[in-house]
Structures are given as C-alpha cells and as structure tokens.
C-alpha cells in the first residue's frame, strides 16, 4: 500500500532536511522540492502542492509533503485525499534544534 508522509511545518524546524531521508532512502516523491516560502504566493503554492499530490496518488507513488502547517484543516485535506486513493498516512513534526 502506498504511503503519504506529512511533515508538519513547525516554526524553527527544517522540514525539508527531515523529508530528505525518505527521498534518499525510500525514493519518495517530494512535493516541496525547490519551493521557497513567499507569503504573497501562499494560496498558489498550496493549490500546486495539492494538485501534485493528487496526481502522484493517481500513479501510486509514495509521497512526502513537507510544506504543511501544523493546522488541522490543512492536514485534513491531505487525509481525505489519502483515504480516497487508499494510502496509509504518517504525520510527523520534527523537533526544533536550538
């Protein structure tokens, strides 16, 4: 069964570094690759990521999404998408390294 790994964006953590392990070790498709935070483009970035996730799920790919804020409505959207496509889901929040 394919898997969706959600790396929640907790301020001060490096979600991409955490996600990189899954990309390198398990060949996950990373949906945040090369994207940079730009508050003025937030809605477009979210829409892009959701569309890319839907597309990757239609192809049965293992996916890691690392640009999701630790907010329930955003997480719920991905949970519904995963359920619709028969994915298992793992949600992680890396700890800050102060």
Whole-number Å distance between alpha carbons of 44 and 88? 26
CATH of the domain at 42: 3.40.50.300
3-state secondary structure of 66: strand
Highest mean pLDDT among 31-35, 62-66, 68-72, 93-97: 62-66
Total count of domains within the chain = 1
Over residues 71-88, the mean pLDDT reads: 92
Instruction: Give percent of the chain with pLDDT exceeding 90.
Output: 35
Q: Using alpha carbons, list the distances in angstroms from residue 32 to 1, 72, 89.
A: 22, 19, 17
* 98 assigned to some structural domain: no
Q: Which domain holds residue 52?
A: 3-92
Structure tokens at 45: 């970035």
* 97 assigned to some structural domain: no
Work out whether the CA dihedral 36, 39, 44, 50 comes out positive or negative.
positive
Structure tokens at 6: 């959600």
Over residues 56-77, the mean pLDDT reads: 86
pLDDT at 33: 47
pLDDT at 35: 53
* 24 assigned to some structural domain: yes
Which pTM does this prediction carry? 0.78
* 27 assigned to some structural domain: yes
């Amino acid at each position: 069964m394919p898997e969706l790994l959600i790396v929640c964006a907790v301020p001060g953590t490096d979600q991409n570094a955490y996600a990189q392990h899954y990309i390198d070790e398990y060949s996950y498709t990373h949906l945040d690759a090369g994207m940079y935070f730009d508050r003025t483009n937030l809605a477009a970035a979210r829409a892009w990521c959701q569309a890319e996730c839907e597309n990757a799920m239609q192809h049965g790919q293992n996916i890691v999404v690392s640009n999701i804020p630790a907010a329930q409505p955003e997480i719920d959207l991905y949970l519904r998408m995963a359920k619709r496509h028969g994915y298992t889901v793992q949600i992680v929040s890396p700890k800050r390294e102060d």
